[in-house]
Each structure stands twice: as structure tokens, then as C-alpha cells.
Amino acid sequence: MVQPDPPAPADGDAGPGTTASPAPSAPSEPSARERDKIVVIGASAGGVEALLRVVRNLPPTFAAPILVVLHVPASPFSRLPEILGRAGALIAHHAVHGEAIELAHVCIAPPDHHLIVTDHRIALVEGPRENGVRPAIDPLFRSAARVFGSNAVGVILSGTLDDGTAGAAAIRAAGGTVIAQEPTDAICPGMPLSAIESAGADHVASADAIGDLLNEMVGRSTEPREMPPRPRPRKSEPTDLVCPECGGVLRDFEENGVVRFHCRVGHNYSPESLFEAHDARLEAGLWAAIRALEESASMSRRLSQSAYARGATATASRFESRERDAAERADLIRSAILTLSDLEDTPTLAEAQPVATEDDRRRAELEIDDVTPQPEGDVAPEPEAV
């Protein structure tokens, strides 16, 4: 029986017993790193206003895709695509897992999902939070640096703390370009200022000027620049700190000149974000201590009253002493929390009435001084109705 001839090898494929070699008339398609530009934008507090000012200056023929991460609550609803779509000529939508990235489109990270980019595809990840948020800016910027290299353009807009700094450093280390909003132009200057100081920025401009700058940059070919030798990443080392999210041991490491912390689970923190998370954890712990002491004082009062009713004077006196001690400690901790604020005096107008008024009456009976800071002078009169 005559065997049919084997199919001719496709371009670039090797036949049996031969060495593969691409056909000269059909060169391999360049990768995203070699061909296309991408713009990734990160923003937080005050970022909606800055985003509006950026996209309204971009033409409908903008020659690059735009991927956006804005810190938003983990609720299932966000109107940001509608807001940005009405502000300018570009189409804006929430990212869909696996979709292709398109030119002249603004693709926005949906709530509670990290947005990362592969070669011309979008991926949504419900991974560990970074810097206490999801979506976070750093994962998007790092993925853009890995895939697009020198064709990646990162933009850091208004926001607090320092999310985006490590990602901006990764883009610059890959030869890409970083643009930071002028801190004096941002509602919250923390993020752009951190990116400028810790990662470096190739351009610093107002939000109104960033749109024109992006349009100019994507319209010209990328010029390779001489990059300084990249320092070897410092191996992560265990610290005496714990992860604010899961309680695991944190390890610190340095990448592209930026110090970061991570735990075994995968939660990542930049220094300022870690400090903020621990500060919030400290305040929560202090309020929990106040609650425990108030409950101890209340229980001691009940036991003291019960002992008096039975005629056990010595026992009643002992529980009364415990009540006084717990109430005094609770007031001291409450005073310590109030002193953490920037206010010299705590306002008394429009204060809610305390629920446990019985505790206040009991403090008066036990002659416990209120250590809560009070404004000097007479109490201000009630404001007249407008």
C-alpha cells in the first residue's frame, strides 16, 4: 500500500530528521516587548479627579492601551468606567479575565481583583493583598515591566502612602518610563512624592500635562537608554515583625533599590504601608483593651453589689477596689488614644451621649477623675440655628 506523502512542515517547523530554521520570507512575529507600548496608571485618594484630567486630553486614536488601578473598596459596584468614558474620547471598561488588550481603550481593575498583564492578555487575580489593598498598583506595574520592558510607561497619580513605588522602580529597571504627578498638583501627594524620591521619575508634570505627554511618547519610537548596572537583589531575611493581615512572620528584602516586606502567605508591604497597617492595628488593640477593662469594671461592680447585699463587706470592698483600678486604667488608655490625634483639644460640641451612663455615675461615686483632655475656659454655647 502506498503511503501518502507527509504534510509539508509549516513555516519555522522542522521536518523529520531536519533542523528547524525559520523561512526567510516569514520572520517570527515580534513580542510585545519589542513592538507595542503600554501605559499603566496607578491612583488612590484624589485619583479620580486626576484620572479625569489625564484622559480628557487623549485623542480617540491613542496608539496604546491604558490599564488603570484605582484603590477602591471591595464592593461589587464601581462607576469609574462610566465616569472616565464620559470625560474623554477613549472607551473605558472594567477588565475581564483573559480578554485581549486593545489600543485606545482604558481598562480598569474591578474591585477586589489584582490586574496584571501578560502578552496581549489581561489576567485578574484574587491573590493576597499588597500594601493592604486589592487591587494594588505594584502587581500591575511589575507585570508591565516584565512583559513590555522598555515599552512600558508607568504613571503615578494622587494618593497617600507609597503603593506603586516598587512597581515604578521595576519599570525603570526594565528600561521603561515613569511619570509622576507633580506633588503640589495632587490632592494627596504621598504616592507621587514617594515614587519620585524612592524610585525616580523620568517626568514630573501636572495631571493636565500628563495626557499631552503620553500622546507624544506613544507616537514616537522608544529610544534605548543606557541603564546603570542593576544591584543584585538582597536575599529576604526574617524580622521580628508580624504581618498585620494574617499574623505570620514578615521577611524584608530589597528589589530595585526599594525595601519591601512579605509573609509566607504572600501579603506584601512597602515600608509606609506597613507602618500604617501596624498603626491601625495598635489603635484597634488599644480599643480592645479599653473594652476589656470596662467589662472588668462592670463585672466587679455587680459582684461588689451582690456581696454587699449578702453582708460580705470584705468581699464587697475587694471587688470595689478592682472596679476602681479597671476604670482608672480604661480612662488612661482612652486618654492615650486621644493624644495620638493632631488636635490640641477634643471638641465637645455635637458629641454623642455615652451609652453606659451608669459607668459615668459610678466613676463619680468612686471619685475617679476624668483624664480625658477638655478645652480650657467655659464650655462654648450651642450654635444658633442657621
Name the grid cell of 315.
468581699
Q: What is the rounded distance in angstroms from the CA atom of residue 114 to the CA atom of residue 129?
A: 8
User: Which residues 6+ apart lie within 8 Å of 223 measured at CB?
Assistant: none
User: Which residues 6+ apart lie within 8 Å of 213 measured at CB?
Assistant: 179, 203, 205
Q: State the residue for C-alpha cell 479575565.
A: 97
Q: Is 365 exposed, middle or buried (0-12, 13-18, 19+ CB in 10 A)?
A: exposed
Q: What is the rounded distance in angstroms from the CA atom of residue 81 to the CA atom of residue 323?
A: 56
Give how far Cα 45 sits from Cα of 42, 93, 239, Å: 11, 20, 30
Q: State the residue for C-alpha cell 488614644.
A: 337
Helix, strand, coil tally for the chain in percent (to 5): 40, 15, 45
Question: Active site residue: 163, 262, 300, 304, which one?
Answer: 163
- SS3 for 179? strand
Residue type, 69: V
Question: Active site residue: 71, 114, 262, 267, which one?
Answer: 71
User: Which residues 6+ apart lie within 8 Å of 238 measured at CB?
Assistant: 249, 250, 251
Q: What is the rounded distance in angstroms from the CA atom of residue 167 to the CA atom of residue 137?
A: 7
The question of whether 44 is a catalytic residue gets the answer: yes
Alpha-carbon 360 to chain mean position: 41
- Do residues 171 and 144 make contact, with C-beta atoms less than 8 angstroms apart? yes
The question of whether 94 is a catalytic residue gets the answer: no
- SS3 for 77? coil
DSSP string, 183-224: GGGSSS-HHHHHIIIII--SEEE-HHHHHHHHHHHHTSPPPP
The question of whether 71 is a catalytic residue gets the answer: yes
Question: Active site residue: 36, 44, 270, 304, which one?
Answer: 44
Cite the active site residues.
44, 71, 163
